[in-house]
Structure 1
């Protein structure tokens, strides 16, 4: 990540999901341009637990909310699968070896709003099987823990639980795997 996150160049997409250019992160967020994000659901190797975390209060988008995907926006010239691997390494300190698959499990588009501005994003949801160890990037992750699918679903059933809204779109497919 650059010293000035708002000046990072992100891939800009059209509404159909094709890359059409690049723009600075700040411009993408201010103007509500279509972009993409990739996130990785970390499921334990036995398949019974999911890693859930809380984002720091200093994040530009969805600050302080809970999430179960390590992820971020697709940089200019970057493939979403590469974004997923990069974010997994940066946010949770998990670096899979070449034999560990990161599998695309779900895609969707989200045309919503955040902080009173439109936020339009194509979402790529991946999964990896790993037991860690997990090492949080302090500027991005405030805390984290392992939950069963049932524990995560119970929290998601509470509309007052502060959870990242775009991840909710992918969770039905990701948890059904």
Structure 2
């Protein structure tokens, strides 16, 4: 079960994840930008080919759907621990929305700084590694880079708001 949201990011109830996906219902996600301790690199990973949404694509953030009864802060810490095996202090940055033909959600965007070590969740992460922020700026504008569309949008917003 996951939290169900309205268009204004208010929790309105709970719903099974399968129903949320089938009906493209509003939900919430915690999204974490993972930077190196020196802030010069971002952790990028490739999703497994078995993921239900955007399988096999790259992502510049860790994160996922907010479970029923969970706060965004709790979801962010859980997702960072589950996906990358990291426990690191999180800083909330901003809240935004993402909508396309397959999904629509409210994103609570966080940032953390750590050099790892990382332990990937094998069901979700096929590969991960560091990317220089300069390379990220170049690649994020390349439509040929196999990056998840929501991650592209949210990372662009993160770059605009925090890096300049």
Q: What TM-score results when the alignment is normalised by the length of structure 1? A: 0.87
1:55–1:140 Cα contact (<8 Å) kept:
yes
1:55–1:66 Cα contact (<8 Å) kept:
yes
Aligned to 1:10: 2
Aligned residues: 161
C-alpha RMSD over aligned residues? 1.1
Counterparts of 1:62-81 in structure 2 under 5 Å? Answer: 62-81=54-73
Give unmatched runs, 5+ long, in structure 2: none
SS at match of 1:110: strand
Counterparts of 1:24-35 in structure 2 under 5 Å? Answer: 24-35=16-27
SS at match of 2:68: coil
SS at match of 2:137: helix
Comparing 145-154 and 52-61, the one that deviates more = 145-154
Q: 1:149 aligns with which of 130, 133, 141?
A: 133
2:92 and 2:157 map into 1 onto residues whose CA distance is 11
Give unmatched runs, 5+ long, in structure 1: 1-8
2:105 is equivalent to residue 121 of structure 1: yes
1:106–1:173 Cα contact (<8 Å) kept:
no
2:158 is equivalent to residue 174 of structure 1: yes
CA positional deviation for 1:175: 2.4
Comparing 102-111 and 126-135, the one that deviates more = 102-111
Moved over 3 A (4+): none
Aligned to 1:37: 29
1:12–1:34 Cα contact (<8 Å) kept:
yes
Q: 2:74 aligns with which of 53, 73, 82?
A: 82
